[in-house]
Structure 1
Amino acid sequence: MSMSNEYQPINCDDYDSLEATCQQHLTLTLELRSGETLTGKAKDIVSRKQVEYLVVEENGALRELRLDHIVSFSNPGIGKVVVSES
């Protein structure tokens, strides 16, 4: 995936997996393209101006992460999912 500002939709299976983590409010460990790793509770997926974001609760605050900036996400119940472009 590129780090350009143009949004690149992610693979449908990866999107569905993220959506399921939101429905279950799972705590995820996320690796981002910037090199950052964070842990947060999956809350929702939102779309703004044709860009999709994962909303996570991290340390009591909500944070929105562009889906195409996520390298991978993991949880003991689902294992590790490496995100790919559609």
Structure 2
Amino acid sequence: MSMNDAYQPINCDDYDNLELACQHHLVLTLELKTGEILKAGARDLLTRKNIEYLIIDDAGTEREVRLDKITSFSHPQIGTVVVSES
């Protein structure tokens, strides 16, 4: 899947939950549309060229994940959130 695919913004409530996770530096279990599962710390959200990214700490390595590539994320405090497009 190319990083140049047209970006599809995610639902505002899902974005708000990611923002909360970043504020509290929660360790999320992320399921990506590729099938990859990550357990990583939520650090920040950023927008670059009209594409939104979640910055995560993946075992000490900072990584950017496009929000529209996330199928779901979970944490005991927020439960499981299935990401939907806006």
Which consecutive residues of structure 2, in runs of 5 or more, have no partner in the other structure? none
Tell me, in whole angstroms, the C-alpha distance in 2 between the residues paired with 1:83 and 1:37.
Answer: 14
Query: TM-score when scaled to structure 1?
Result: 0.94
Letter in 2 for 1:43: R
In 1: Cα distance, 2:64 partner to 2:28 partner: 14
Deviation (angstroms), 1:51: 0.2
Instruction: Look up the match of 1:57.
Output: 57
- Aligned-residue sequence identity (percent) comes to 60
CA distance in 2: counterparts of 1:15 and 1:8, whole angstroms: 13
Q: Take 1:80 and 1:14, find their aligned partners in 2: how far apart are those partners?
A: 10
Aligned-CA RMSD value:
1.3
Distance 1:10 1:36 in 2: 19
Unmatched runs of 5 consecutive residues or more in structure 1: none
Equivalent residue for 2:47?
A: 47
Partner of 1:13: 13
